[in-house]
């Protein structure tokens, strides 16, 4: 079986057994992966190595793009709570290009980002977390963690499927609608405070926005 099919099969299986945390039926497509990794490639002439954290790498659909753009001296940490995904990622870093080309620069943390040791700060955080599946408190807590884990001036890149909250609200009960409204408020607050760029990724299933945020940046 090809790598792509094996990746899709693993993803669909995990989606069916753990919808809340997996949050998508398919791994992200290449256009979404490229948009999420915009700031791994765009270094604005800076030569200093980057410390990058990817949260929720899943089967590695976005990690592949990070790995392909990693430069000497950069470090990449991954935080993934799902055991099957962690096993698959470790195999990829063992054998499969472009993952294995950068294996020495990578650390895989098997656990939720909420439990990641706070002994390091990052220039970039790239998140694949399905925030619309979480409670409002969890979303607020996670954005707080991202802010603490970022260096001053560091960038958070994350995505959301376009229109998905409205569609889900239509089929949700009253508490579900309230939860989605709370998430929208929380996200709007974060974006108003620091969104520096937004990509519209139409060639993805479903289409997505990628938000790039610098906390504390005056807009």
Ligand X SMILES: C[S@@+](CC[C@H](N)C(=O)[O-])C[C@H]1O[C@@H](n2cnc3c(N)ncnc32)[C@H](O)[C@@H]1O
Residue 123 binds ligand X, judged by CB under 6 A:
no
Of the candidate residues 10, 27, 123, 124, the single one contacting ligand X (CB under 6 A)? 27
Radius of gyration of the chain (CA): 17
Over the window 133 to 172, marking each residue x when it contacts ligand X by CB under 6 A and - when it does not, the resulting string is ----------------------------------------
DSSP annotation of 28:
P
Residue 24 binds ligand X, judged by CB under 6 A:
yes
Pick the piece of the chain touching ligand X (CB under 6 A) from 58-66, 89-97, 169-177, 202-210. 58-66
Look-up of token digits 């579900």? 176
- Cα 172 to the center of its chain, rounded Å: 25
Q: How far apart are CA 159 and CA 63, in angstroms?
A: 14
199: closest CA among 28, 29, 35, 27?
35
Of the candidate residues 50, 53, 58, 156, the single one contacting ligand X (CB under 6 A)? 58
Residue with smaller CB distance to ligand X, 48 or 126: 126
Q: How far apart are CA 219 and CA 35, in angstroms?
A: 21
Of the candidate residues 52, 53, 128, 180, the single one contacting ligand X (CB under 6 A)? 128
| CA angle, 24 then 30 then 33, to 5° | 70
Of the candidate residues 38, 56, 145, 149, the single one contacting ligand X (CB under 6 A)? 56
Is residue 125 within 8 Å of 143, Cβ to Cβ?
A: no
Q: Tell me the closest approach of the beta carbon of residue 97 to ligand X, in angstroms.
A: 19
Footprint of ligand X (CB under 6 A): 21-24, 27-28, 55-58, 61-62, 79-82, 85, 112-114, 128-130
């Amino acid at each position: 079986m090809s790598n792509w099919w094996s990746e899709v099969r693993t993803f669909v299986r995990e989606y069916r057994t753990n919808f809340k945390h997996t949050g998508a039926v398919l791994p992200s497509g290449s256009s979404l992966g490229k948009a999420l990794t915009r700031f791994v490639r765009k270094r604005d002439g800076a030569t200093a190595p980057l410390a990058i954290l990817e949260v929720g790498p899943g089967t590695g659909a976005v990690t592949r793009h990070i790995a392909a753009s990693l430069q000497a001296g950069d470090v990449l940490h991954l935080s993934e709570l799902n055991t099957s995904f962690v096993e698959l990622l470790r195999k990829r870093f063992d054998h499969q290009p472009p993952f294995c080309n950068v294996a020495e620069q990578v650390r895989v943390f098997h656990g939720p980002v909420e439990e990641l040791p706070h002994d390091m700060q990052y220039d970039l955080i790239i998140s694949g977390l399905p925030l619309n599946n979480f409670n409002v408190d969890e979303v607020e807590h996670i954005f707080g963690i991202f802010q603490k884990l970022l260096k001053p001036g560091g960038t958070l890149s994350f995505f959301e499927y376009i229109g998905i909250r409205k569609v889900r609200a239509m089929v949700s009960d009253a508490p579900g609608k309230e939860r989605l409204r709370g998430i929208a408020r929380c996200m709007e607050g974060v974006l108003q405070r620091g969104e520096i760029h937004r990509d519209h990724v139409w060639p993805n299933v479903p289409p997505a926005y990628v938000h790039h945020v610098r906390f504390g940046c005056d807009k």
